Amino acid sequence: MRLDSARGLKQQLLQDVIDPFTEQANLLRTEGVAAVAAAMRVRGMAGDPSSFGIGAKRTATLPQVQRSIALGVAPKGPEYRLAVRVQRAALRDSPLVERVTREARGEVDVQLVGRIDKRQRRAPARPWYQSNQRPLLIGSSIAHVAVTAGTLGAFVMKGRAVHVLSNNHVLADENRAAKGDVVLQRAHFDGGRRRDAVGRVTHWIALKPRGSNTVDAALASVDAGIGHDPVRLRGLVGGADRRLAGLGPEFIDEDAVVYKVGRTTGPTRGRVTAFDMDNVVVNFDIGNVRFDGQIEIEGHGRSAFSDGGDSGSLIVDGEMRAVALLFAGSESGGSNDAGLTYANPIHAVLKALKATLLP
């Protein structure tokens, strides 16, 4: 189908099917299985509420937002189809997916991605991107002093000062930070200590456990005397350095090749598999959080594009222009079944923070 048709169908299905379903299912915490049973009857659907099976735990610990199905747009040759990402295995053959497939007349790309997690931690090795870097480099280990480890995404101007860009959950500890908190490079999980402080938390976009989010982003100042290189992308392509070529387009072409350098997996290559992804529910410490308008990427070959600890990585296109900020990944999915990566469009990030990308 045409791009405008795919986008229109996605919005219609979100409004008529997915959102009514998730709104009802999100009452699971207070109304129990009755809420899920009601959700399965949305718009005449019938189903088994056991698709939201849970283990025995305190009711208060249940997430307020339930994982279900994310919708986006995926390329199919010269045209497009609906990207359907199932976030619970029990929903794969459910009436909900059947309804979406039927409404799309079979023009769907359905994949089970399972739970999507913030990409924050992994056991350390010691490549360059997990070590101290002076001057500060894109792709190196960084985090709030109380956070395990994430990735330094880029350098931006906020007002008249240079700042480091990464995720809220990397620099602002999922809204729990206070302005002025210390930021370490390398991060604590990689052996960083107070002597490795390079800046202070200054700004973040709050993560909302209820409602919709578009970015997971935060800034930290750079301390006096700490140098930074705003353009070097170390070892990005075939082991060779590249230079950041500024800001990329707002719209990423279908099947576009992209790259990133991250704290855990280092330099990787991938391709955009879907965009405009809505109802992407991500697992955070503060609970499940919904994101809309996201970009989906799969890794090249048999490898994943990212792993835990790569959160905050700057994603660039084939011309080395910034296009997105990495923040989450799934446990499965993609043509290689190595998992899919999710990222905020960089234009949305910079707009929300009222910042300008360097150089």
Q: Is the peptide bond before 209 cis (omega within 30 degrees of 0)?
A: no
User: Do 136 and 185 contact (CB within 8 A), yes or no?
Assistant: yes
Q: In the structure, what pLDDT confidence band is assigned to residue 76 with cuts at 50, 70 and 90? A: confident
Share above pLDDT 70 across residues of the chain, in percent, rounded to a whole number: 87
- Which tens digit of pLDDT belongs to each residue from 95-125? 888 889 999 989 999 998 888 888 765 544 5
Cα distances from 244 to residues 14, 35, 48, 240, 257, in angstroms, run: 36, 49, 50, 13, 15
Scan for tokens 């392509």, then name that residue. Answer: 237
Dist. CA 314–CA 62, nearest whole Å:
32
- Which tens digit of pLDDT belongs to each residue from 29-40? 566 656 555 665
How confident is the prediction for the chain on average, in pLDDT? 88
Please tell us whether the domain made up of 115-359 is placed in CATH 3.40.50.920.
no
Rounded (5°) CA angle 290-296-302: 130
Dist. CA 19–CA 12, nearest whole Å:
10
- Residue 28, pLDDT score: 57
Closest CA to 129 of 261, 290, 312, 322: 261
Q: Does the structure show a pLDDT above 50 at 57?
A: no
pTM for this structure? Answer: 0.83
**Residue limits of CATH 2.40.10.10 in the chain:** 115-359
Closest CA to 229 of 137, 156, 163, 166: 137
User: Do 172 and 200 contact (CB within 8 A), yes or no?
Assistant: no
